[in-house]
Structure 1
Amino acid sequence: MAGKPKLHYFNGRGRMESIRWLLAAAGVEFEEKFIKTKEDLQRMRNDPSFIYQQVPMVEIDGMKLVQTRAILNYIADKHNLYGKDIKERALIDMYTEGMADLNELVAYYPFLPSGEQEASLTQIKEKAKNRYFPAFEKVLKSHGQDYLVGNKLSKADILLVELLYNVEELDPSAITSFPLLKALKNRISSLPTVKKFLQPGSPRKPYTDKKSVEEMKKTFA
């Protein structure tokens, strides 16, 4: 029997957090091996199986996978969170690529110099409220179903709810004008596996504060 997936990353959100969300929502327990020093990172880079010499990296089913989207797709496919056919997968990918674009801005925000954060926050709010959130609200309204694709839970729903939480940390009013997104957030958050992940003490990582930023910069410089 295969062991638990092992996640290699620093002890923070970054590009691993979506992977944590997806595994948790699928009810998969996982282990984490944190990269705390430059030496830890160099040891990984010296491993010939560590392709591209970068993280996040996930050991799963006898493989060492890198590249966030490849990891997410494998987990989604394995746990029946990737649609029923090629058309549904195309829609799921289309939606999640848009989410990733916005989530990237949110993830980089804490790492920006203080003088650049105000402009970045303005951009995040503008894109969230005027481009991405209206698009996903429209998708839900167009078919009147509980989920984005095929009326069935997929990685698109899970990653959208992660994004909603992330944006709300910067702008608590972000989804006030989007009733279907609020309903989706409540629906997904009420799933037993997700509800557990949202509780204190879970593997979910807290907001990236200044101390965490400095620690990560020292390791990955």
Structure 2
Amino acid sequence: MRLNPYSGITKAYCILQAVSLSMPPYTITYFAVRGRCGAMRIMLADQDQEWKENVVAFEDWMKGDLKASCVFGQLPKFEDGDFVLFQSNSILRYLGRKHGAYGKDENEAALIDMMNDGVEDLRVKYLRMIYHEYEAGKDQYIKDLPGHFAKFDAFLSRNKSGFLVGDQISYADYSLFEVLLNHQVLCSSCLDSFPALKAFAKNMASRPKIKAFLDSDDYKKLPINGNGKQ
């Protein structure tokens, strides 16, 4: 009987390969809130991707070791194998490029970036109100919402596909949808005067994989924001 000197190595390689194939390709390190990871989780779910969550307790974050290892001293941290990325919008763009959600050409990609920048402007206003002006500023913030929503509604009205740009979903659609979900909790009637925006939110919520994710305990158990305001 002839022995194969590489048989043990081959078996070990097969085991490692099987373990690798069974592990989620992505890892998100973040707090136990939806927060800045809301849109990327919805996007990953809709794109039928699996991911692992490393949940960081606030007390551990305050110790400073993890914070010091982050490029800008902030979470989320996103890992794709050995590739590590920070900044939530950069992560969304990366996933958009990787999963075909970044338009069909450079012009569409530029418009998608433009719309996501607009979403980010609104998100920053929302977070400022939630974390710094909730008691004194919530009512005025809700009164000002039509001025913000009208811009997105007008842009959506010009594109009959139901998406922000082109005829296929983009990372900016996930970002806008997640912001709208938060605002509908803040004010349930906030989209009533914006038919295109309301239809957009309804259509996104009805996508089978998004609906399944929004109905899951993993999603429902997470508060929207870290301070409990919504």
**TM-score past 0.5 threshold:** yes
In structure 2, how many angstroms separate the alpha carbons of the residues matched to 1:35 and 1:26? 25
Structure 1 residue 154 corresponds to structure 2 residue 175: no
Q: Is structure 2 residue 4 aligned with structure 1 residue 4?
A: no
Q: Is the 8 A contact 1:83 1:154 kept in 2?
A: yes
Counterpart residue number, 1:35: 56
List runs of 5+ in structure 2 lacking aligned partners: 1-20
Query: Which structure ranks higher in relative contact order (CA pairs < 8 Å, sequence separation ≥ 6)?
Result: 1
**Is 1:192 aligned to residue 212 of structure 2?**
no
Q: TM-score, normalised by structure 1?
A: 0.83
Match of 1:134 in 2: 150
Q: When the two structures are aligned, how many residues end up with a matched partner?
A: 206
Runs (4 or more) in structure 1 with deviation over 6 Å come to: none
- Which amino acid in structure 2 is aligned with residue 44 of structure 1? L
The answer as to 2:43 corresponding to 1:26 is no
1:207 equivalent in alignment to 2:224: yes
Please say if 1:91 is aligned against 2:111.
yes
Q: Percent identical across equivalent pairs?
A: 31
3-state SS, counterpart of residue 202 of structure 1: helix
Structure 1 runs not aligned, ≥5 long: 214-221
> Counterparts of 1:37 and 1:135 in 2: how far apart (Å)?
37
**Cα deviations across residues 121-157 of structure 1 (Å, max 9, x unaligned)?**
2453244311x31112111222323211112111122
Look at both structures and tell me which one has the larger radius of gyration over its CA atoms.
2
Q: Given the alignment, which residue of 116, 126, 138 partners 1:121?
A: 138
Asked if residue 145 in structure 1 is aligned to residue 176 in structure 2, the reply is no
Contact persistence 2:32–2:223 (CA under 8 A): no
Whether 1:44 aligns to 2:44 is: no
Q: Greater CA deviation, 84-93 or 121-130?
A: 121-130
**Distance between the aligned counterparts of 1:124 and 1:24, measured in 2?**
31
Name the amino acid aligned to 1:43. D
User: Relative to structure 2, which stretch is displaced further, 121-130 or 82-91?
Assistant: 121-130
TM-score by length of 2: 0.80
